[in-house]
């Protein structure tokens, strides 16, 4: 598996530092006694990150999971996300939701989900992403908490996959272009619309 990696972009040690810093920022914002923090982990990519973030938090935190598949601009109207797995809480108006994502790319997933959860009446909706590729944005969206900005390269590891592989690498690495065999890099048009790759 490691031989498919061109370079390590973020080491395990660096990931731990990033997650500790994010947890401190989140604690600062959610420590008031009237807050009720619920992490909404977006499956499958954010599982490792959400678990690590949750254990790094020293304030009460609950967790829920959603699985979505977004369509790239061009296929369906932009900002459209299909919910494949949802969560249910009897009174969402008491909850301060924090969407936890592995990576923000086009921005469709996070902007649509933020809108949806606000429409459902959550008390607050914020988002936290481990990685951000701002160069790829198709809709304007700024997450409230960002682990680190990365260049426009296809990365895997620590939850992120290519064809369901490499999620269990303990670091973030750049995949060797020859691994995706196709003439071009894996584009979001391949990733999108295929729920198994989310
Ligand atoms: P977007 O911001 O709506 O384009 O969606 C981001 C989603 O695209 C993430 O949750 C990932 O599943 C996927 N994604 C984007 N860039 C990468 C990458 O470099 N590696 C693996 N998955 C990616
Ligand atoms: Mg994915």
Q: In the prediction, which pLDDT does 185 show?
A: 55
198 lines ligand 1 (CB under 6 A): yes
Q: How far separated are the first and last CA of the chain, in Å rounded?
A: 20
Q: In the prediction, which pLDDT does 187 show?
A: 56
Q: In the prediction, which pLDDT does 6 show?
A: 96
Q: Is residue 156 part of a domain?
A: no
- Site to probe by mutation for ligand 1, drawn from 103, 127, 150, 197 as the one with most ligand atoms within 8 Å of Cβ, is 103
Atom nearest to 160 CA in ligand 1: 21
Q: Is residue 41 part of a domain?
A: yes
Q: What is the distance in A from the centroid of ligand 1 to the CA of 161?
A: 9
- Distance from C-alpha of 159 to C-alpha of 196, rounded to nearest angstrom: 13
Residue 146's domain is classified under what CATH number?
3.40.50.2020
Total domains in the fold of the chain: 1
Q: In the prediction, which pLDDT does 70 show?
A: 65
Q: What is the distance in A from the centroid of ligand 1 to the CA of 103?
A: 5
The protein residue whose alpha carbon is closest to atom 22 in ligand 1 is: 160
- Distance from C-alpha of 15 to C-alpha of 9, rounded to nearest angstrom: 10
Residue 26 domain boundaries: 12-151
Q: Is residue 165 part of a domain?
A: no
Q: In the prediction, which pLDDT does 72 show?
A: 47
> Could you give the residue numbers annotated as active site?
105
Q: Is residue 196 part of a domain?
A: no
Q: Is residue 193 part of a domain?
A: no
Q: In this structure, are strands 124-132 and 145-149 parallel, antiparallel, or unpaired?
A: parallel
- Distance from C-alpha of 62 to C-alpha of 51, rounded to nearest angstrom: 11
pTM of the complete model: 0.90
Give the ligand whose atoms come closest to the C-alpha of residue 66. 1
Low-confidence spans in the chain with pLDDT less than 70: 70-79, 182-198
Q: In the prediction, which pLDDT does 198 show?
A: 47
155 lines ligand 1 (CB under 6 A): yes
Q: Is residue 179 part of a domain?
A: no
Q: Is residue 163 part of a domain?
A: no
Atom nearest to 102 CA in ligand 1: 10
Q: What is the distance in A from the centroid of ligand 2 to the CA of 105?
A: 11
Q: Helix 12-30 to helix 47-56 angle, to the nearest 10 degrees? A: 60
Q: Is residue 192 part of a domain?
A: no
Q: In the prediction, which pLDDT does 1 show?
A: 84
108 lines ligand 1 (CB under 6 A): yes
Instruction: Identify any residues that bridge with 132 across adjacent strands, giving them in sequence order.
Output: 104, 149
Q: In the prediction, which pLDDT does 77 show?
A: 38
């Amino acid at each position: 598996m490691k031989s498919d990696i061109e370079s390590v972009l973020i080491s395990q040690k660096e990931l731990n530092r990033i997650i500790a810093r994010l947890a401190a920022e989140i604690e600062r914002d959610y420590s008031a006694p009237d807050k009720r923090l619920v992490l909404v982990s977006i499956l499958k990519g954010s599982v490792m990150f959400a678990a690590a973030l949750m254990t790094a938090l020293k304030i009460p935190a609950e967790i829920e999971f959603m699985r979505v598949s977004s369509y790239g601009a061009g296929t369906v109207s932009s900002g459209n996300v299909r919910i494949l797995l949802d969560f249910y809480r009897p009174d969402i108006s008491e909850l301060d939701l924090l969407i936890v994502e592995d990576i923000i790319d086009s921005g469709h997933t996070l902007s649509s989900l933020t809108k949806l959860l606000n429409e459902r009446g959550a008390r607050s909706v914020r988002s936290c992403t481990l990685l951000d590729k701002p160069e790829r944005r198709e809709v304007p969206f700024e997450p409230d908490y960002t682990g680190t900005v990365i260049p426009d390269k296809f990365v895997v590891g620590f939850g992120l996959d290519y064809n369901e592989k490499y999620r269990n690498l303990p670091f973030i690495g750049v995949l060797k272009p020859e691994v995706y065999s196709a003439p071009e890099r894996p584009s979001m048009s391949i990733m999108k619309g295929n729920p198994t790759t989310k």
